[in-house]
Amino acid sequence: MDRADEVSEEAPGTRFLLFPQSPFLENNPQLELVEISAPPGSIGPGPSGPRMYTVDAEGKTTPYGAIVPGPRGPGMYLPPWDGFIHPPAMPDADGNFTHIDPSDPAFQSAHLFGSAHFTMDVWEGYFGHPIPWHFARDFDRLELSLLPSLDNAHIGWGFLETGGTFEHGGEYRPYSLNFDVVAHEIGHSIIYSVVGMPSPEHTSGEYFGFHESAADLVALLASLHFGSVVETLLENTSGNLYTFNRLNRFAELSENAQIRVAANNKVLSEFTQGWTSEHALSEPLTGAMFDIFVDIFHERLLVHHLITPEMEDLSDRLEDSPEYSDVMQAHFDARYALNPEGFRIALIEARDYLGSYLADAWSLLDPDMLTYFGVEQAMLAVDRDITGGAFQRIIKGNFRMRDIGVVQVGPRLADPDETSHAVSTRTRVPD
Ligand SMILES: [Zn+2]
């Protein structure tokens, strides 16, 4: 199993300071130091590197991907930006970008670059090989573009462009500072690269739901590479992640937006009559994957003797009783206090199992007529391959809980609107 952690321990990378989640969600947001997989000195002003570069354009008004008039008729507006730019983020004498203060306008450029690169590093670690850009036919590098007038963030043919929102009392909140948003968009590009686009006549609704789910999972597992995210999650729950499934306490237990999306209880049978939003349709699949993650974490805790089989029995016996939550939480609190570091290691093991499984499973998928049940079959095949089938019961059980493989998804009920990621500039390919 390839682990991004191990890669970063081997060779020194270029350092960035990132907000593990949107700094606007917290009162006192803390930056965390990360290293991207590029040797110090290899990332130039922008930042710019061999795989991607940031541009803070001056006077840019049109988003990339828009259809604009051209000398030979209408065509896609695409990178590279060739106009004036605002001052780029500069590396320090050691080649790092940690000296730039968040109040410096160049911080956004550095944060966008660091977030996109770090996410790609994590996932290339899980895939075990470089992930080519899906637009490699036309561009070697991804242009990371800051466009404040865009109330969105989107990835497309050669670009990842982030704007911001004024919807919170007039304060401008740039998406470039929201790691989850940037990581989610990188997730879409990973899926375009490793799964590909279905042919129009073989495009299933579940393909669109799968895309959103995968993008959320890319962001979730990338964010679990921040030490502070793991620590907060464990401190707040004492490792009792089942509490997410049993209690409606997400807001209280986790401010992390990705965990809140993933810890849902949606089932696929809600969509037998049809669907309108691929974000909603993605939730049963993401929820199944989150539950698999929680179950694998539980298995790792047992393997390391950090919880006891008796706790499992007790959990089964109290299943539907009113005292369930309090009794189980007291057990977890006691156990976690004995060995928090052991719990942290078990969580990271579960994270990396899921990451490697997803990477291998996605690599097996055919985009035509893609179904969630097909995703399950791929996960089961990967599990047989890697562990000889250690998690078959966990995988099957969690997919059945979501009614996946039991019901058929109905048709799309309405034309996609502007919130759709699936039918947008993202999927547009120049002729
Ligand atoms: Zn999306």
**CATH fold of the domain at 4-194:** Elastase; domain 1 (3.10.170)
**pTM recorded for the entire structure:** 0.93
Q: Are strands 159-162 and 164-168 parallel, antiparallel or unpaired?
A: unpaired
Q: Is 45 helix (H, G, I), strand (E, B) or coil?
A: coil
Q: What is the DSSP string of 61-101?
A: -SPTT-EE--TTS-EE--SPP-S-BPPPB---TTS--TT--
Whole-number Å distance, alpha carbon 283 to ligand 1 midpoint, is 12
pLDDT tens digits in sequence order for the chain, 431 residues long: 444 454 445 679 999 999 998 888 778 889 999 999 999 999 999 999 999 999 999 999 999 999 999 888 999 999 999 999 999 999 999 999 999 999 999 999 999 999 999 999 999 999 999 999 999 999 999 999 999 999 999 999 999 999 998 888 888 999 999 999 999 999 999 999 999 989 888 889 999 999 999 999 999 999 999 999 999 899 989 999 877 654 444 444 455 666 767 778 899 999 999 999 999 999 999 999 999 999 999 999 999 999 998 887 887 777 777 788 888 899 999 999 999 999 999 999 999 999 999 999 999 999 999 999 999 999 999 999 999 999 999 999 999 999 999 999 999 998 776 666 666 677 777 87
Phi, psi of 162 (to 5 degrees): -125, 135
Which H helix or E strand runs over 160? strand 159-162
Both structure tokens of 336: 């976690």
Give, in order, the Cα–Cα distances in Å from 427 to each of 135, 156, 188, 196, 423.
Answer: 11, 7, 10, 11, 6
Whole-number Å distance, alpha carbon 188 to ligand 1 midpoint, is 7
Domain with CATH 3.10.170.10 in the chain: 4-194
CA atoms of 327 and 348, how far apart (whole Å): 26
Q: What is the DSSP string of 373-414?
A: HHHHHHHHHHHHHHHSSTTHHHHHHHHHHTTTTTS----B-S
Whole-number Å distance, alpha carbon 209 to ligand 1 midpoint, is 9
HSE (CB half, 13 Å, CA atoms) of 91? Answer: 20
Whole-number Å distance, alpha carbon 429 to ligand 1 midpoint, is 17
Both structure tokens of 297: 């974490």
Whole-number Å distance, alpha carbon 34 to ligand 1 midpoint, is 24
Q: Is 37 helix (H, G, I), strand (E, B) or coil?
A: coil
Around ion ligand 1, residues with a beta carbon closer than 5 Å are: 212, 215, 421
Whole-number Å distance, alpha carbon 189 to ligand 1 midpoint, is 10
**What is the separation, in whole angstroms, between the first and last Cα of the chain?**
39
Whole-number Å distance, alpha carbon 78 to ligand 1 midpoint, is 20
Asked if residues 120 and 142 have their Cβ atoms less than 8 Å apart, the reply is: no
Whole-number Å distance, alpha carbon 388 to ligand 1 midpoint, is 33
Alpha-carbon Rg for the chain, nearest whole angstrom, is: 22
Whole-number Å distance, alpha carbon 40 to ligand 1 midpoint, is 32
Whole-number Å distance, alpha carbon 103 to ligand 1 midpoint, is 29
Whole-number Å distance, alpha carbon 421 to ligand 1 midpoint, is 5
